[in-house]
Chain A
Amino acid sequence: MEQVRERRVHGDHGQVTELAYFVVIGLGIGAVYALSGLGIVTLFTGSGLLNFAQGDLMVLGALTAAGVAGSGHGYVAALGAAIAVTGIAGLLLGGLFALPLRQRGFDIDVVVIGTLGVAITMTNLLGIWFGREPERIESPVASATIPIGNFFAPMHYALMLVGAVVVFFGMRLLMRRTDLGLQLRAVAAGVSAARDSGVRIVRMLIVSWLIAAVVGGAAGVLVASVVPVVPESATMLGVNGFSAAILGGLANPFGVLIGGPILGVTESLSGAYLNETVRQAVAPVVLLATLLLRPRGLFASRAKARTV
């Protein structure tokens, strides 16, 4: 997001094209949030768990890819490595979180603390393994730009949008059209009912962790071409993902696809026309405002957010 400022070309130009430029940049950044949010939503719709470590999975993917790309391999190899590594992490975490479910259900505090513990572990492990220097990955479309009047938005922003849409449709296909998706949704709706209908709970939990982790890893690789990634970026990525997910409706992947860009454009515009402080505050404020005014998200699904 820092490059937003760097790439801001000063000169004689229309205000409209400037606005359009920042909207495009915002859409790209929003696509990142949508991808982060999609990981959170995948796990939520696939197992009913809320993952506070999603940001760390993204950072894991980003740093792995940066390591592979830095040692001279191509972007595709880096992406593949990131997906493989986050996939393994997802399998491990899935196994870990599935174990206690064999006997009993989850309390909310247990899930929150459990995934927060994963976040602490991963942030520190990543710091030890990869160092705390900001890492970047050269985008495959680094030289290409999208001309908007006098401005040139990097093509990578379009790539991120495409990535978010592809992941969304892939997930939709999986959730709506396959038997696996049906079983995942059954687990999310209620563990004991799903178990009684013959769904293999443990297997489904591992699968949904795997999907969430891989989505997170791929998202992390895409992000790392725009934002330099350090292990501590995880909190920011996680909060923004939650904002996108809640804005669109936690149980609604389509909502996330819209919520992310709304958030991204708001951030980009407030960074451009107001100041950096406001830009940092956008994600938490949007998240709070959504929870206050429309806790089910903009595109209300049947999931309920209020009990009292």
Chain B
Amino acid sequence: MTATALSLVDSARPARAVIPARHWRWTQPALVIVAGVLMLGVVRPAVFDLRVFTLVVIYALAAVGLNVLVGFTGVVSIANAMFLAVGGYAWARLADAYGPGIALVSGLVIAVVLALVLGLLLLRLEAYYFAVATLAVGSFATVVMRNWTSVTNSDAGIIGLGYLPVPGLTAVQSVFFLGIILLAFALYFQETLRTSSVGLALLSTRFDAPGSQALGIGIAQSRIIAFAFSAATAALGGALMVQLTGGAFPDQFSITHSISLLVIPIIGGRGWRWATIVGALVVIALPEYFRFLDEYRLVAYGVLVTLVALFVPGGARQLVTWMDTAWRRGVSHLRRKTTSTSGAPA
């Protein structure tokens, strides 16, 4: 545990700043919005590509909370497709009747309340047992979705769903735009959380639970906060997902999707601020462009997931850090060389 923790905080390099850089609160959401606007206005991808990118944005949004849960507190949940479903079905049932705002917010609220209840009940468990418990919750949710016909219309699903139109944009573009805005908000919140005392408390429980408990941090409470946040972003993502596909079906919210959601922050690098965007690009977009692999796509995906978990547990971020350290080492090496040849004291 401690050995892994050490490798993750990268003990080889001295910390650049004690307080995490606060400017990312603004710069990261701004960069995301700029990239999104450029995508719509300048790049103008084909419809298929835009659909893929929209799905990437949706998954990146849905996984932001899970990034906080897994990356900050080290707790693993295999039930988050359930919160996708809550958001999705809330949109499907309420958007036409009560308007898009009510639909989005009610999905969010139901998901958060559900997460709080589940968290209160289950987060007292040790992390392993919690993972198994969420697996049970996830499979129970699947049974509910398939059988609660009055709400979910079981396997036939609810079709013909509307989307939130943005003036001057097509359907997919509107969903993409809304996704970008919500993603920017979620990322802002993620970064605010990380630099707040609550976020630092969460981080401390991950690396040294007894130690943080001794400092007066309630481990269960902080984990519940993170779990509720993971439910909130997943519910937003679910609402967007049914807007993109135009229908809500139990198959969209299966355990497979819970696993995808969980894999996204891991592949990106749990706890990293860019983790869900990088992870969603790998998990969602890459398979779409590897169609030549045909049925071996998902096999390759599974192998990638296992290999990343076992050998690059820091995900894409670890690769970035490796390159960064190599670059720095190279630069300082060069600098030393040039100074020594010019005769100046190092």
Contact = CB atoms under 8 A, between A and B. Distances in A.
B303 A291 contact: no
A242 B4 contact: no
A271 interface: no
Given A120-B302, A121-B303, A109 B124 contact: no
Interface string B295-319: 1101101111111111101000000
B132 A50 contact: yes
Interface in A263-296: 277, 280-281, 283-285, 287-288, 291-292, 295
A117 B133 contact: no
Contacts of A305: 125-126, 129
Interface string A91-121: 0000011011001111111111110111111
A242 B1 contact: no
Given A117-B304, A120-B302, A107 B74 contact: yes
Contacts of B299: 121, 124-125, 128
Contacts, number: 158
Interface string A253-268: 0000000000000000
B306 A121 contact: yes
Contacts of B275: none
B220 A308 contact: yes
Interface stretch (B104-112, B137-145, B192-200): B137-145
Contacts of A52: 135
Interface stretch (B20-28, B181-189, B259-267): B259-267
Nearest to A101: B310
Interface in B222-278: 223, 255-256, 259, 262-263, 266, 270
B293 to A, nearest CB: 11
Nearest to B305: A117
Query: Which are the 9 A-B pairs with shortest beta-carbon distances?
Result: A121-B302, A117-B305, A120-B302, A117-B306, A114-B309, A284-B140, A287-B136, A284-B136, A104-B3
A117 B4 contact: no
Nearest to B298: A124
Contacts of A113: 76, 262-263, 266, 305-306, 308-309
Nearest to B304: A117
A306 B303 contact: no
Contacts of A304: 126
A308 B123 contact: yes
B128 interface: yes
A306 B132 contact: no
Contacts of B308: 113, 117
11 contacts: A50-B132, A106-B4, A108-B131, A109-B309, A110-B313, A116-B78, A116-B305, A118-B302, A295-B125, A307-B126, A308-B124
B147 interface: yes
Q: Which secondary structure dominates chain A's binding surface?
A: helix
Contacts of B140: 281, 284-285, 288
A127 interface: yes
A284 B132 CA distance: 10
Contacts of B259: 116, 120
Interface of B: 1, 3-4, 7, 70, 74, 76, 78, 121-129, 131-133, 135-137, 139-140, 143-144, 147, 209, 219-220, 223, 255-256, 259, 262-263, 266, 270, 295-296, 298-299, 301-311, 313
Contacts of B3: 103-105
A150 interface: no
A243 interface: yes
A110 B4 contact: yes
A242 B135 contact: yes
Nearest to B306: A117
Contact of A107 (B4, B132, B298): B4
Given A110-B310, A284-B143, 12 more contacts: A96-B310, A112-B76, A113-B262, A114-B306, A120-B298, A235-B255, A242-B132, A280-B143, A280-B147, A283-B139, A284-B139, A292-B121
Contacts of B147: 277, 280
B310 to A, nearest CB: 5
Contacts of A230: none
A178 B107 CA distance: 56
A50 B266 CA distance: 18
A305 B123 CA distance: 11
A105 B1 contact: yes
A287 B302 contact: no
A292 B270 CA distance: 28
Contacts of B139: 235-236, 239, 283-284
A133 B275 CA distance: 38
A306 B130 CA distance: 10
B312 to A, nearest CB: 10
Given A110-B313, A306-B126, A104 B4 contact: yes
* B263, B296, B311, B313: most-surrounded residue (chain A CB, <10 A): B313
Nearest to B69: A109
A246 interface: yes
Contacts of B295: 124, 127-128
Nearest to B303: A121
Given A104-B4, A235-B255, A96 B306 contact: yes
Contacts of A107: 1, 4, 74, 313
Contacts of B305: 113-114, 116-117, 120
A138 B76 CA distance: 40
Residue among B74, B255, B302, B307 with most chain A CB within 10 A: B302
